[in-house]
Amino acid sequence: MEYLILILIGLSAAALGSLVGIGGGVIIVPLLIFFGIDNDIISDVTPQSAVGTSSMVLIFIGLSALMSYGRSNQVDRKNGLLFMAGIVPGALAGAYLSGLFTTESFKLYFGLFLILLSVILIVRDRIKPLSMFQDERYVRPHVDNMGNVYHYGFPPYIAIIGSFIAGLTAGLFGIGGGAIMTPMMLILFRMPASIAIGTSMLLVFFGALSSATGHLLQGNVNFLHTLFLVPSAFVGAKIGVYLNQKFDSDTVVAVLRTVLLLLGIYMIIQSFL
């Protein structure tokens, strides 16, 4: 039963995460805590091992989705390099800071973070992209997978600061950084949705790689759990990319933000019990 649950967690989290460009860690971590710490169905789970193991799994989710999005020209590689300059050190710093969490404090802060993500998913399509960070000196054309040409550009320091913050949350909570970077790219950097989601998976990959390295050095990765999560997550990411290119993801996003809200409330309540 334990191993079947791990397989289902990897499959569902990766499919949802790659579909909307958030990676899947926001699903993996709370489910590991729910089945591990709260119900003792999955053995040897701590907040730090949940985050470290999730980061390790997200490497493969990010790589799987990135390969597919890259082939369809949905990755902005040039700006992606700028984002990586912030997300890599941010994720390493977050991985070490996560050691400060107790079980109760982790549940509280992660619950609040999940509610914040739910709110971001609610408003991200209702807020028009802001022009304040656009700079004509950096505007470049980019052609998406449908042949549409988009023009956008922003100062490098803004990209690095924003991605550092995303990386910090990736290391702290094992989410890869896509949950923060995707709405940031849509709203602040005026990137089209198809390119933002594809580029986000590039950042999930490198953010998770950096976070997992930090957690590995601290012994926070459960390799037995990883063994069952990774293959199912790799398949789930492929499914998510396929659905992204075939269907309107609005309904899935609506379901996901509701799930995140409920998970956040549940974890906050659990932190006081």
Tokens for 240, please give them.
């998510």
The pTM of the full predicted model, rounded to 2 decimals, is: 0.83
Give start and end residues of each alpha helix (H) in the chain. Answer: 2-20, 25-33, 47-71, 77-97, 103-123, 156-173, 178-187, 193-217, 223-246, 250-271
pLDDT exceeds cutoff 70 at 21: no
pLDDT at 108: 94
Helices 2-20 & 250-271 angle (0-180, nearest 10): 130
DSSP-assigned beta bridge partners for residue 149: 143
pLDDT at 27: 86
pLDDT digits (tens, 9 = 90+) for 90-115: 999 999 998 888 989 999 999 999 89
Tokens for 136, please give them.
């004509």
pLDDT bracket for residue 84 (50, 70, 90): very high
d(CA 148, CA 191): 12
pLDDT exceeds cutoff 70 at 220: yes
pLDDT bracket for residue 247 (50, 70, 90): low
